[in-house]
Structure 1
């Protein structure tokens, strides 16, 4: 009997020892937190001596996050904390992985003991009054650090070089400080965001960062190189040991520049001569074998709009000897104010941009509406009759969340689509390029309204175009315009049937869905995946293109990033910090995030139908009951 009882006795003793060990560790962590509390300028009544701060994954201590009965995180945001931040009392917390003191009034230098918390994964110190220079070795040894937020402080001096050695770093926010000097040569493979905007940095942007959003580098007048449009003016020094290769290279560059400008001048002279000798300027040719070639010559974004003719028709040859259509626009909706192609071509115009499909121009008609003209070059595989029929089908669509097609112009090489001009611009601009704008950042009720409008527009397309595999095909934030009341209007929809397939697979968003990556073909639910990515972009403020790359573990996207962050940090850090008016709406925000992730389910069979996605989105409210 004694031999049989021995194992049970050992188990009992082990469990008792484990309980004593956990209780002892909990008491030590409680003492450490109380010592930290004594350094703060606010009272935390729930932090009291005696009980351990953590019981499994729960706690009664305000601002403390627990995991496996250990203190995992400290989150004291927007609490009017002032004075300096002393984190030395936190060093004895072995399970501490994340700290956040954002939105306070903390001042002084960066806490010098940060590097002694080597197990930290995330540090959030944005929106405080920290100042001074950060030592170069401030982050030495912090090999687990993934996210560092130091935005909106008063840090000066160079960006600390020890950040380059953090191999797991995913996101670095240093914007709105006074950092000076060059950007360190970051080479981390997993690094997706480096925001250094609005500092005093200068010199070339490292190649590893050249594919990131240009907005992450704005506000530094002396920065140059991709992704900015500022070209670096590298000074070439002569060789020190009597060589002349440096001067020779400078001479070659000067000669090349002179030749380039001469070629441009010759080209301009040739175009001017061709314009003068053209039979008709500003009017279509009417001869039996003549066709029109449209050339829109508009002012750039940074120039005043042209006041003279902004486009011209140049005679060319057609194939087959068919008589041309004399440059007439085909209107697809009744009741619209009509205008002719030559009215549009003679209007003052402004270049709006060049996208995946072609260039866009804003044309201000002298007696008529302001319209947007999109020029498409990747539709030359579609015959005239098929193209006309599909455009008439699009013209019959009518929904409050669709930007209607006004007219189109068919030519074998180029097609023009004419729509209304929406002054507020795109959702992408509001989310990622709105700094310096008079429009405020999008609050939570507005973002929910936008999501609902997008979902309604998509569901309408699915109902009206059931024969299409991709009723939209190119849903992204730059193809969602916002009208005067910030209602969303979908654009570039239902174009898959008239696009060249090779070009569509390269640029259209639906072709980036998991089923295309795995099996090479889209499905009816590919637009649902695009909707999910758009929802996550609206909630997180992250630009999806920054996550579309391939690593050693396969493809990555915004949904994967959100899932990883949800597993490792608290949920609030997933959401866009510019999103306002979220009081009493956190539960609804979480529900929308879950819908976005469900729309991005990798297995197509498990992904929602479009109608189900709309029904779940329609149930959301701005505020919880």
Structure 2
């Protein structure tokens, strides 16, 4: 009995000691995150990570890129920070409340991480890095809670990991822009509604479960077949196809020989003495360059018709437009060239003109010259992505045209001009300035359109990137339509930094980076412009110069109460709404907060704006 009692006592003491040791070895969230930070290189953007300050204060984040909930770290949003080095998954795995991580748009490289150590993760965003190599088939085993996986635009290779097909809650999967090969496995998840397999090396039939998706989601895979792409051929069909290919090759060789013969004949004719004084025919344009189309575009920009031959026909075939919408009647470049053209303006990136088709609607054509570095496939894929957008406050893109030297984007013409004209040019047009209800309606529509872009283009850091009053068009009912959105990925970087609004934000001026809250800052500046009637001076800067902006001026004269000096004196309908106008002004200042951590995110911004009413109701802000 004594021996048993002594043994029991020893066991009890051992259990207590182990518990104490375990508690001692358990690291705090701050210590775990510091371990994670120390494994990274180029981590200057995480300078606010200080072990002396907790990462979370209830739901408020004290550390950059940390997302908090009930005092705990539930997410890491470390995007566009230039980070590289090793990712300490073991440290992250000890964060019990961690549910989402995003390392998009950084410089991480190497093999896929052991993410299944984070079994409770719900969202994983690794797009736009330099990860490479084959992902193990079982890489996602045990991740039963994962809903969103973004691996796009890396260098992953090999087959798509089969463990992805066993994730019961998966709803979004982005694998585009990699080097995945082999067949697409069968995804049977009923909730999976957003996928992208484009621009890989996949082959074989597309699974029936994915056959109803848009064909663009499978583009850039030459050997994929089956709905929604072309029907797969039978084995016998493949043999016939090889025979056909041989015949075509022979035909090509014959054609090349004929072309060489023609060139020799033309060369001899050119050197013949009796033809030496005759005017030379127009030289053919270099390969890959459509000389006629370029000249025609120049003439169209000037509102001129293209040159015609003696029989009234164009000397070359029309430029082919790529259409993105089925609800608009098709037309080609020759129709635009025959249209009555009117130059609407010449902006930072090129010219905009109005083309009234002889049969059909009036279109707006924007000509961009600052996208020269964008590859053809990359541009096509991005435009198809923008073409899928559909919202009452977003002007849809109807068609586009790609040339290496320039791009065209075609949309439907809206009669009621831009918000900038209504705010700053109505007097010269003899038109009244928008009243308070109209301005509030515009603010709400713009914010709803911006929120839609955020939800529809999650992989873009700044889904609009160029939000300003001249890029908001008003229709006949004064409903705002956003234009020039989603162009950051396809504009030359130097030109974007010089001209685009996202690159004039406080975070870019201070740290040289753009964040998910950059568009929110632009929205705040736009609201201040709408309320004050003043044009934002910082939008006129060419990426340099003074940091002064409209928000700085408002802060200098606004004393937390009504002031005639702040609000536009030409704005009618303000007699019974001073309280609501003050609320909106304060919201705008929150959105213009220079410190990213203090600035509201887009969802909170839209929710707060939606609460503003046309008339006062006596409630405080």
TM-score of the aligned structures, taking structure 2 as reference length:
0.50
TM-score of the aligned structures, taking structure 1 as reference length:
0.50
